[in-house]
Amino acid sequence: MARLFRFLLINSLAFGGVVLLLVSAFKLAQTTGVIPNGHDWRLVLKGIMDSEVRPAGKLKVRRSIMARAVVVLDAGHGGADGGTLAGKSLEKDLNLKVVHMVAEELRRKRIRVVYTRQGDVTEGLKARADFANGFPAALFVSIHHNASTSGKPEGFETYYTHPKPSSVMTAQRKIFGVKNGGKFIDRRGELLAREIQASSCNATQAVDRGIKNAHLALTRLVSCPAVLVECGFLSNVREGARLKDNTYRGKLSGGISRGILAFLAEVDANASYGLELSMPNPVAVDEVSVLGKAVR
Ligand SMILES: [Zn+2]
């Protein structure tokens, strides 16, 4: 009996220790930012498993570009933050609908998609940027709907930031093997914006308000090529009605996803598309050229 008791005691102590270890590892990961706080855990884990991207080492990041493109889709606002109000429609809900349609289109082309939010949850800009920066070899597209105090403005526009803070770009320099002091000019955000703007306006015949370089938090803080699209003005009666129509949304989402695919095709053809870089390390040059061939 005493032996059985001792056996049970030792085993339950060991089990308790393992549980304690797991809980503290999880807490540590949260406080160190390895795991962002306040996320829907099932979505984060699903996102990571879906993407097969482990933002761990330089080599892994390179491999992930070769394996398959990853697109981080960000539905603007959510939860307590409704965004713009248009009649009974809230911007946050329309953003999410477009995101889901774009995701569907991209998946059909075997592009991996992860989301900053999939449901109606409140998520800060910093948390969204941190999450996206867990996928340094991805593309980032934030979806919004616009509004104005006047009912007149209408049309589609796309934002990007150039240049981004050099601290933000460290991850990109690493991917391409550019050492400190090496030249690294990244115009991919602008080129991605250009592709999305052109194909979306073409698909919807919306007024083309052009691409704009602006210091928006997300396009500035996300390291990979990052854009923010404003799908149209909910404050304009005619365009607002279109933006709530599912057929129009289908055209819009098709346009956005074709823009993303057009950009990826350029990267496939030339791995340093949109980049001006100096690579003092000849090994890095080889790896990037291999990457160019492998993307296809
Ligand atoms: Zn918005």
Instruction: Quote the mean pLDDT of the chain.
Output: 81
64-to-9, 45, 51, 111 alpha-carbon distances in Å = 46, 17, 9, 12
> 144 pairs with which residues across the strands?
230
Residues 159-211 pLDDT 10s: 999 999 999 999 999 888 888 778 999 999 999 999 999 999 999 999 999 99
Q: What is the dihedral of CA 217, 220, 225, 228, to 10 degrees?
A: 30
- pLDDT for residue 4: 60
Ligand 1 midpoint to CA 87 (Å):
16
Ligand 1 midpoint to CA 226 (Å):
16
- pLDDT for residue 293: 29
The share of the chain scoring above pLDDT 90, in percent, equals 63
The whole-angstrom separation of Cα 4 and Cα 193 is 68
- pLDDT for residue 196: 98
Ligand 1 midpoint to CA 142 (Å):
9
- Asked if 40 contacts 114 with a C-beta cutoff of 8 angstroms, the reply is no
- How is 236-268 classified by DSSP, letter by letter? SHHHHHHHT-HHHHHHHHHHHHHHHHHHHHHHH
Q: What band does 255 get if pLDDT is binned at 50, 70 and 90?
A: very high
Instruction: Identify the weakest region by mean pLDDT among 71-75, 194-198, 266-270.
Output: 266-270
- pLDDT for residue 149: 94
- pLDDT for residue 88: 81
Q: What band does 82 get if pLDDT is binned at 50, 70 and 90?
A: very high
Phi and psi, residue 165, nearest 5°: -55, 140
Long-range contacts of 278-287 (CB under 8 A, 24+ apart): 278/178, 278/182, 278/183, 278/184, 279/176, 279/177, 279/178, 279/182, 280/179, 280/182, 281/177, 281/179, 283/177, 284/176, 284/177, 284/178, 285/177, 287/62, 287/177
Ligand 1 midpoint to CA 76 (Å):
5
- What's the token pair of residue 80? 């307590």
Q: What band does 17 get if pLDDT is binned at 50, 70 and 90?
A: low
- pLDDT for residue 182: 86
- What's the token pair of residue 247? 């057929």
- pLDDT for residue 278: 80
pTM of the model: 0.74
Residue 24 pLDDT > 80, yes or no?
A: no
Instruction: Identify the weakest region by mean pLDDT among 26-35, 125-134, 223-232, 266-275.
Output: 26-35
Ligand 1 midpoint to CA 176 (Å):
33
Residues 35-70 pLDDT 10s: 333 333 344 334 333 433 333 333 333 434 445 789
Residues 83-142 pLDDT 10s: 998 778 899 999 999 999 999 999 999 999 999 999 999 999 999 999 999 999 999 999
The whole-angstrom separation of Cα 225 and Cα 190 is 8
- pLDDT for residue 39: 39
- pLDDT for residue 292: 32
- Asked if 91 contacts 145 with a C-beta cutoff of 8 angstroms, the reply is yes
Q: What band does 1 get if pLDDT is binned at 50, 70 and 90?
A: low
Ligand 1 midpoint to CA 288 (Å):
37
Ligand 1 midpoint to CA 229 (Å):
9
- pLDDT for residue 181: 79
- pLDDT for residue 19: 53
Structural domains in the chain, sorted by start: 38-166+189-269 (3.40.630.40)
Q: What band does 285 get if pLDDT is binned at 50, 70 and 90?
A: very low
Ligand 1 midpoint to CA 55 (Å):
29
